[in-house]
Structure 1
């Protein structure tokens, strides 16, 4: 009996060691997974507020184009800076939105649904609902239901977003970043390949938008307001917003 005990005791010790190693490995993997989730939530969170700003800026410009005669006032104005604002800044607002949409899309690729913080504005949006509305904006731009005017294929939208978006690394953390206006203008003016991605926008912006293009823009603007409502449901950040077709109005030209 004593010999049996002497024989079994080392095996039990070995088994305990193996179990300990397996448990430690699982704990480490669980810790790494939790850390990855936390980093992903961090990226998602860092993308949401800029995405809200970008959606607001773009829908406001579209509203001014369709309801306030912005392009008629400034697109053919006597001053170069007026025309630059009407063309270059309008293209930038589309590009800025695509950039932050790309940042949000990359953050949302994580398999688990990432619940964002329930902030003071009451937003409880998750990655799935956000990317769903982003897709609706994309669909309104790529559909041929409005003809070819102002139509941007999904690939073109993604390409612009990829060109605008990059990761900034600080220590062991990385942060989403999108090209700013001054950098955008410098590249837009000197890089013909970069500028070519905006051909579908430039021609109608410069020469006048027809009825089909205006209908497309109205659809896009409505979807962008839907995105704002999702991200800022209590209107705590942007109090003023109105869909084209509503009786409400937005601010003046700018």
Structure 2
């Protein structure tokens, strides 16, 4: 075998090996690129999920906390929020106690309605968690609408809850939000149609302010809201402490003993 043939054979072998190595490297590069693309897409989805959670879940969490805190401060004793500021307060305090109590209820219904419209975006990471949140929301709704042994005070049927939520939605571009307190007060006093949806709640707030009595419905609502809050804020990062109202039998007219001073976390305001 002459030298030229040997060189040719060696060159061919080297070329074949180079082609094999190159093909293998290309395949590995394609696999790595596909994996990188998959990880990038997963990261983008997670960022989007966290963004949606912060825009939808967190406002619901704050609204639920404010509402349970207000209920606690109203119902904890005959010396609670409405007695202090509606019955015995100045005219300005009296109006604040009435209107702001209506507002914290309406704000909660607003965020529930927003979530109802965008329920597919309430992604907490798995279907079971999503189902639990929806179940808590349903339970709160049921506590408001329940009729048996609860009387008409603070009762809102599901359709009324949704209507109040719809009225409270403010559209900012593509993102829905909730009416601010000042705009709510303006519409409550100046828009007859708007105010009519709050008539029964308004009457219940004023009646409870004039004469304190135990409201089993409010106690049950507060307990359910706390369950929702503890689930959404499992690590207690936002609300390290909440206090449940003592459970009372339906129809009780007063507390056997006044509960301890407020420790609900947000004061009387």
- Name the TM-score, length of structure 1 as normaliser: 0.73
Q: CA RMSD in A?
A: 3.0
CA distance in 2, matches of 1:228, 1:62: 14
Which residue of the partner structure matches residue 116 of structure 1?
A: 124
Q: Residue 143 of structure 2: which of 140, 144, 155 is its match?
A: 140
Identify unmatched segments of 5+ residues in structure 1.
1-34, 119-123
Which residue of the partner structure matches residue 204 of structure 1?
A: 204
CA distance in 2, matches of 1:104, 1:204: 27
CA distance in 1, matches of 2:65, 2:122: 23
1:57-136 aligned within 5 A? 57-68=66-77, 69-108=80-119, 110=120, 115-116=123-124, 126-136=129-139
TM superposition shift of 1:115: 3.0
Kindly tell me: are residues 67 and 129 of structure 1, through their superposed partners in 2, closer, same or farther at Cα, counting changes over 3 Å? Answer: same
CA distance in 1, matches of 2:81, 2:157: 25
Kindly tell me: are residues 102 and 212 of structure 1, through their superposed partners in 2, closer, same or farther at Cα, counting changes over 3 Å? Answer: farther
1:155 aligns with 2:166: no
TM superposition shift of 1:205: 1.2
- Name the TM-score, length of structure 2 as normaliser: 0.69
1:190 aligns with 2:193: no
- Mean CA deviation greater in 79-88 or 136-145: 79-88
Q: Is the 8 A contact 2:75 2:214 kept in 1?
A: no
Q: Is the 8 A contact 1:98 1:158 kept in 2?
A: yes
Q: Deviations over 1:187-217 (max 9, x none)?
A: 1110121111112211121122788871000
| Count, aligned residues | 208
1:224 aligns with 2:235: no
TM superposition shift of 1:36: 11
TM superposition shift of 1:222: 0.6
